[in-house]
Amino acid sequence: MEIFSGNMKVSELADCNCRLLLVLSRLGISGSFGEKTVSELCSKAGLDTETVLLICRVYASAGYRPSAREVRRCRVEDVVRYVRQSHDFYLRNAIESIASSIERLIAPCQSAQQQVVRRFFSGYKDELLKHFAFEEEEVIPYVAGLLEGRRSQTFNIHYFEENHTNIDEKLSDLKNIVMKSLPHECDDTLRLNLLQDLYALQDDLRSHTCIEDHILVPMARMLEGARGIGGRHADALVEDDGESELSDREKEILVCVAKGMINKEIADTLSISVNTVITHRRNITHKIGIRSIPGLTVYAILNNLIDISEVE
């Protein structure tokens, strides 16, 4: 692993890994770097050097996991700034560029083939929008509130951890469709260029998720601890009863999940708290060994908890 420091020239940092140019750009460090060091440009941009360097380490080293000491030295505001700017980059740049590349690639395909690919990509884009909206509308305001000393009666960082969905699966599927399933009439150069963009986006999103899970979440936990906020509210203390069979309440929640309801909708429907829903869902996963929503849906159908006609 490369040793990064604030005394490095920014050009040297970029030479270590060209992906870091995108990271720096999202943080407001771009243009001609000259002979400036990382610390000098961070100071000019109003950023904490240690925070920027830690984000760079995550991007430059696959599988890198920050230590608790590194996280404690970070500035929360800069991590949030990075997260927001990354969301903007993905939606305004990466996804739009990939959409254009897909259209050029599938131009020779039959109309039905084009429709299938467009529908799949549109579904992935919608999933990404929903994922980022949850973070922008719930998580980031919550963290901002912690910084200002405010508590939330309906949200904590444990809720985010339980609902931080995997946005990698459909992207992997899209890569396989492009690589294996499109007809030979599609231009090979366009196919290769699109695949490179998809792999680059996948790598970027994995690093982004790592920063959220291993920097932002621990920082939020520290803030919760400083504000006297527990990881779970009292009404969420519904523990596994040791039985392998699902309880009636767990079956009710499983049916709601199969119908496509999110945790808040389930809580409203059953007149319980969101945290109680989360705890029951964890118990369901522990008992039946299934976590994904499609898997839970199949389980509910096969066990006659719900009719297939009720599933969206």
Total structural domains within the chain: 3
Who has greater pLDDT, 291 or 138?
138
Q: Do 58 and 24 fall within a single domain?
A: yes
| Closest by CA position to 294, among listed 127, 160, 136, 154 | 127
**Predicted local distance difference test score (pLDDT) of residue 227:** 60
Same domain, 24 and 158: no
Q: pLDDT (tens digit, 9 = 90+) per residue, 34-58?
A: 899 999 999 999 999 999 999 999 9
Any residues with CB less than 8 A from the CB of 222 and at least 6 apart, and which?
71, 72
Residue 187: which residues within 8 A CB-CB, separation 6 or more?
104, 105, 108
CATH of the domain at 277: 1.10.10.10
Q: What's the Cα-to-Cα distance from 94 to each of 23, 114, 115, 169, rounded to whole Å?
A: 14, 21, 21, 17
- Residue 6 CB coordination number (10 Å): 15
Q: In this structure, are 216 and 246 located in the same domain?
A: no
Calculate mean pLDDT across residues 285-303.
Answer: 80
Inside any domain, residue 131: yes
Q: Which amino acid is at 56?
A: C
Domain of residue 41: give its range.
10-64
What is the average pLDDT value for the chain, to the nearest integer? 87
Contact yes or no for 128/162 (Cβ under 8 A): no
Determine, yes or no, domain membership for 231.
no
d(CA 252, CA 33): 58
Which pLDDT does position 238 carry in this prediction? 44
245 in a domain, yes or no? yes
Residue 109 lies in a domain: yes
Residues 167 and 38 in one domain: no
Q: Are residues 95 and 121 located together in one domain of the fold?
A: yes
CA dist 167 and 160 (Å) reads 15
Same domain for 190 and 259, yes or no, is no
pLDDT at 185: 93
High-pLDDT (> 70) share of the chain, %:
93
The CA-to-CA distance between both ends of the chain, in Å, stands at: 47
Same domain, 133 and 23: no
Q: Are 5 and 53 in contact (CB under 8 A)?
A: yes
Whether residue 300 sits in one domain with residue 246: yes
* Confidence category of residue 235, pLDDT binned at 50, 70, 90: very low
CA dist., res. 238 & res. 119, Å (int): 40
pLDDT digits (tens, 9 = 90+) for 200-233: 999 999 999 999 999 999 999 888 876 655 444 3
* Contact by Cβ (8 Å): 82, 20: no
